[in-house]
Amino acid sequence: MSAETLTPVARRQGATMRAARSLFASRETAIVLVILVIIAVATTMNQSFLFSAQGWRDLLLTPSILMVVAIGSAVVIITRNVDLSVGSTLAITAYMSGRLFIDLPGIPIFVVVLLGILVGAGLGLINGALVAFGKVPALVVTLGTMYIYRGAVLTWAGSDRINASDMPREFLGLGTMQIASIPLLTIVAVMVLIIAGYWLSSTRSGREMYAIGSDPEAAKLYGLPTTKRVIFAFILGGALAGLAGVMYAARYGTVSASAGLGWEFQAIGAAVIGGVAIFGGSGSVWGAAFGAILLMTINRVLPIVGIPDFWQRAVVGALIIGAIVLDRYLSVRRHRKLQEARDKA
Amino acid sequence: MTAATRAETGASTGAPERRRGDGRTYAAYHRPWWFRTFISAEFLIIALLVVVWIIATTSVDNFSGPLTVRYLLMDIAPLMMIALPMTLVIITGQIDLSVASTMGLSTVVVGILHVQVGLSIPVAGLLAILVGVLCGVFNGFLVAYVKLPSLAVTIGTLALYRGIAVGLLGTTALTDFDQEWSDLATSSIGESRIPAIMIPVVILIVIFAVLLHFTPFGRGLYDIGHNDQAARFSGVNVARSQMTTFILTGAVSAAAGIFYTLRFGNSRGDNATGLELEVIAAVLLGGVLIFGGRGAIHGVLAGALLIGVLSSALRLEGVTVNVINIIIGLLLVISVLAPTLVAGVQRLTSRRGGSGPGPERSSPASAPPEPSDPATQQEPTQHDSAPNQSTHQESARADSASKPTVTP
């Protein structure tokens, strides 16, 4: 969308007009509008969807965990890679947090959170190192580690299940705690979003992620530390999946080894719907976060509108395909406009 | 002008009789025949398969007995079937993640049409294959004609097809299948213990091997995987070929879904979840390059068999499925890392830089360092004095040697 401001027409407009244009033309705005429409429709059909304590809480709480995972996935995708192992990473840290409370009674909660993030980061480091030094597509490497990590947690947990009674009440309290009627987990997710959003859009290392994603060869020739940045993207993706695992344990109370099954596809879907191009170099974590909110909200709205929630996955799939077709259409149109502008000049 | 001539030379050096359609690098043809045959990814995986099979036979009781082999073949039949068209897709440099979802949709379609509507199995099966073809058409249209990345498209259709399957049946499972057909799916060939499903599987293997290795269509797939632009210039209908590979994947996945349904006698929306990963693992394990342009059917069959033998042997030894999944994951990572590792070792051992295998080798970026090598530096002068001799030279060199004649 930023390319549109380059056209002569846009250049003549005032700064405020330009800001307004880019705001309304952006994918993020479009997604937010869609979310608002969906919430409005659901609320008219069932008042308690929005105007009840439970409905309001669920509206904010349900997407928060996927949001955190999707932010990490978006950063990885922006560098023209993909991480299929985030669902398995989430399962490992979710089960680990439960296990820590059982095996080490009285362990401080912040240590568990920290360990979750660290273990996630470590698993991400393995992915990143394999991708960056092995010079193989991230798709295959993370497909392999997805098997390995999932196998590891299944071996560790077996058919064992962590129950709410195994975890301290304060930890579970974090999952339900609210500050000024906003759930704590949502606040955590929004904080992660703000930090990641600021980092990607306004710092040197964040901007380099886009450079690497849009043309890895050029980025390398230019002298950007591509290897380091790609590894960092995977570490960040893993760490956020690890954090999401701890949040998952706190929110749901019960954790089995199959936690987060298929979340990698949900997270990639959220990023793609939110305007992160699958071949890297464009998009924002804001879009990915709104994509996650959209997916999870649709999930809850379908039964209210009268569609059995079995159809949720089909809707998600259709949304992903719609999003990438839209991206293709917009990029073809933008390309044509730029070409016209060049021919005129 | 220069781009056109380069494309032309690229087309002429890629002559079918030199390439044989298995996508080997040109240098490979100047090595002795035994080197070419035995030091290849396919042969290594076949050798690994033989070694694993021998170890399994000696250490697991009755592993090569007829009953174990029978279940082994029945277990990997769907995997083997889908791996064949998946090989074609990956050789063109694309991927299809939606195969297991297509399979799930196929079992639901067969179940609904047979149990709820009352059609006979052959009619229901044909309609299910038609649905599979439609799934493939949708994938192929978006990838080949709308030019969307196949990874994104098939992640979307992975959710979409599975979503339709789950949406149609919900959590109910249809189990009331015609006993006659269920028996046929699990029957054996004559008096032997070889499962009857092997007959269509072997027919499919032959069809796909011929299609890939002995037809212009198959050679075109390698060309697309190497460089789709160059393939287009040399007369390959890129979009139609890609469309065909996706349709084949959809159709074969649906056929595998029918076998799956009849073998287990149930039709559920979440049948065969996650099988796409095993299929991709088998294909890549079999020496197919994920970037496209390289691979062969016999390697893929060995890859699929290796996964089957390993998991069957380990399961008989009492190893849990989870550990088996870890081992498959490790195998997958190692197999994709292998070319990089080999290239690294070769770079360390050989005196001449940049002679490692891999996709970088054929790229023009590797050409500039070559003139520093005294052997190659002579080539352009030789080429200028006696142009006719260049036909005797290695075709890859001829490609780089043709550049000086263009620039002056």
Complex-level ipTM: 0.82
How many angstroms away from the CA of A159 is the closest CA of chain B? Answer: 11
Least confident of A104-108, A289-293, A318-322: A104-108
- Do B279 and B297 meet the contact criterion of CB atoms below 8 Å apart? no
Under 8 Å between Cβ of A294 and A34:
yes
What's the confidence (pLDDT) of residue B240? 94
Q: Is A321 within 8 Å of chain B by CB?
A: yes
What is residue A254's DSSP assignment? Answer: -
Residue A23 lies in a domain: no
Q: Does A344 touch chain B (CB under 8 A)?
A: no
My answer on whether A188 and A144 are in the same domain is yes
In sequence order, what are the residues at sequence separation of 6 or more whose Cβ sits closer than 8 angstroms to the Cβ of residue B340? A134, A135, A136, B358
Both A211 and A77 in one domain: the answer is yes
A317, two tokens: 């799939």
Which pLDDT score, from 0 to 100, does residue B375 have?
Answer: 40
Same domain, A221 and A293: yes
C-beta of residue A41 within 8 angstroms of C-beta of residue A301: yes
Range of the domain at A104: 59-256+272-305
State residue B231 phi and psi, 5-degree precision: -60, -40
Report d(CA A134, CA B102) in Å as an integer: 32
N-term to C-term CA, chain B: 14
Distance from C-alpha of B331 to C-alpha of A134, rounded to nearest angstrom: 15
CA distances in angstroms from B4 to A93, A314, B15, B19, B251, listed in the order given? 55, 45, 17, 22, 38
> Residue B287: which of B295, B298, B279 has the closest Cα?
B295
- A150 CB neighbours in chain B (<8 A) are 322, 325
* β-sheet bridge partners, residue B195: B188
Q: Which of residues 268-287 of B touch A (CB under 8 A)?
A: 269, 277, 280-281, 284
Q: For residues B96 and B246, is the Cβ–Cβ distance under 8 A?
A: yes
What is the predicted pLDDT for the residue at B18? 38
Q: Rounded to a whole number, what is the distance in Å from the CA of A322 to chain B's nearest CA? A: 9
- State whether A141 and A159 are in the same domain: yes
Least confident of A13-22, A330-339, B27-36: B27-36
Alpha carbon B342 to chain centroid distance?
A: 21
B66-91 vs B216-226: helix crossing angle, rounded to 10: 60
Tell me how close the Cα of A74 comes to any Cα of chain B, in angstroms: 14
Residue A267 inside a domain? The answer is no
Does residue A313 share a domain with residue A287? Answer: no
In this structure, chain B runs to a length of: 408
Distance CA A330, CA A48 (A): 38
* Dist. CA B257–CA B162, nearest whole Å: 13
**Other Cβ atoms within 10 Å of A254 Cβ, number:** 15
In a domain, residue A109? The reply is yes
| Pairwise CB contact (< 8 Å): B167 & A310 | yes
The rounded distance, in Å, linking the Cα atoms of B347 and B344 is 5
Helices (H), chain A: 8-12, 15-25, 27-45, 53-78, 86-103, 109-134, 138-157, 169-176, 184-202, 204-214, 216-222, 226-252, 263-273, 285-305, 312-344
In the three-class reduction of DSSP (H, G, I as helix; E, B as strand; rest coil), residue A256 is classed as strand
- Would you say residue A25 lies in a domain? no
Q: Is residue A128 part of a domain?
A: yes
Distance CA B233, CA B8 (A): 8
Q: How far apart are CA B157 and CA B376, in angstroms?
A: 50
- Looking at the complex, report in whole angstroms how far the Cα of residue B330 sits from the nearest Cα belonging to chain A: 6
Ranges of residues in chain B with a pLDDT under 50 are 1-23, 353-408
CB-CB under 8 Å, B152 with A324? yes
Q: Is the minimum CB–CB distance between B167 and chain A shorter than 8 Å?
A: yes
Closest Cα in chain B to A270:
B156
Q: Is A197 on the interface with B (CB under 8 A)?
A: no
Q: Across-strand partners of A161?
A: A256
Q: Is A178 strand, coil or helix?
A: strand
Same domain membership, residue A339 and residue A284 = no
CB B306, CB B289: distance < 8 Å: no
Preferred mutation among B148, B155, B273, B294 to probe A, highest tally of A CBs within 10 A: B155
Domain membership of residue A234 (yes or no) is yes
Closest by CA to B236, choosing from B213, B219, B214, B215, is B219
Q: Determine the Cα–Cα distance for residues B104 and B99; give it in Å rounded to an integer.
A: 9
CA-to-CA separations, B18 to A12, A47, B26, in angstroms, rounded = 59, 72, 8
Q: Do A313 and B166 touch (CB under 8 A)?
A: yes
- Low-confidence winner among A79-88, A211-220, B185-194 (lowest mean pLDDT): B185-194
Q: Degrees (nearest 5) of the Cα angle B201, B82, B305? A: 65
Q: Specify whether A152 is located in the same domain as A222.
A: yes
Average pLDDT over residues A290-302: 89
Q: Which of A143, A315, A317 sits opposite B280 (nearest CB)?
A: A143
DSSP H/E element including A255: strand A255-256
Query: Residue B28's pLDDT is what?
Result: 54
What is residue B1's predicted lDDT score, i.e. its pLDDT? 36
Cite the DSSP H helix spans in B170-237: 179-185, 198-213, 216-226, 228-233
Task: Check pLDDT > 70 for residue A79.
Answer: yes
Cβ neighbours of B161 in A, within 8 Å: 317
> And the tokens for B385?
């004095």
Gap between the Cα atoms of A119 and A133, Å rounded: 21
Indicate the pLDDT class of residue A188, thresholds 50, 70 and 90: very high
Is the CB of A316 less than 8 angstroms away from the CB of B163? yes
A129 in B contact zone (CB under 8 Å): no
Q: Do A325 and A212 lie in a common domain?
A: no
A234 & A245 share domain: yes
pLDDT for the residue B31: 66
* pLDDT score for B365: 38
* Contact at CB, B156 and A139, closer than 8 angstroms: no
A13 phi and psi angles, rounded to 5 deg: -75, 160
Where is average pLDDT lowest: A89-93, A261-265, B190-194, B201-205?
Answer: B190-194
Other beta carbons within 10 Å of A313 = 26
Q: Does residue A228 fall inside a structural domain?
A: yes
Q: Which residues pair with B267 in a beta bridge?
A: B174
- Say yes or no: A129 and A217 in one domain: yes
Interface contact flag, A268 B155, Cβ < 8 Å: yes
In a domain, A139, yes or no: yes
pLDDT digits (tens, 9 = 90+) for A305-314: 888 878 888 8
Distance of CA B13 to CAs A109, B19, B32, B33, B375, Å? 66, 9, 21, 21, 21
**Axis crossing angle, helix A138-157 with helix A109-134, rounded to the nearest 10:** 140
Distance of CA A231 to the CA centre of its chain: 18
Contact B332 A144 (CB under 8 A): yes
Quote the pLDDT of residue B12: 35
C-alpha torsion sign, points B99, B104, B108, B114:
positive
Domain co-membership, A91 together with A211: yes
Measured at the alpha carbon of residue B288, what is the angle toward residues B282 and B292, in degrees to the nearest 5? 130
Q: From the CB of residue A56, how many other CB atoms can be counted at a distance below 10 Å?
A: 17
Classify residue B213 by burial, with Cβ atoms within 10 Å: 0-12, 13-18, 19+: middle
pLDDT single digits (tens) B363-381: 333 333 333 344 433 333 3
DSSP run (H or E) holding B354: none
Q: Provide the number of structural domains found in chain A.
A: 2
Contact B223, B234 (CB under 8 A): yes
Same-domain check for residues A193 and A337: no
Query: What pLDDT score does B59 carry?
Result: 86
Rounded distance between C-alpha atoms, residue B202 and residue B297, angstroms: 12
The closest alpha carbon to B184, from B74, B110, B262, belongs to B262
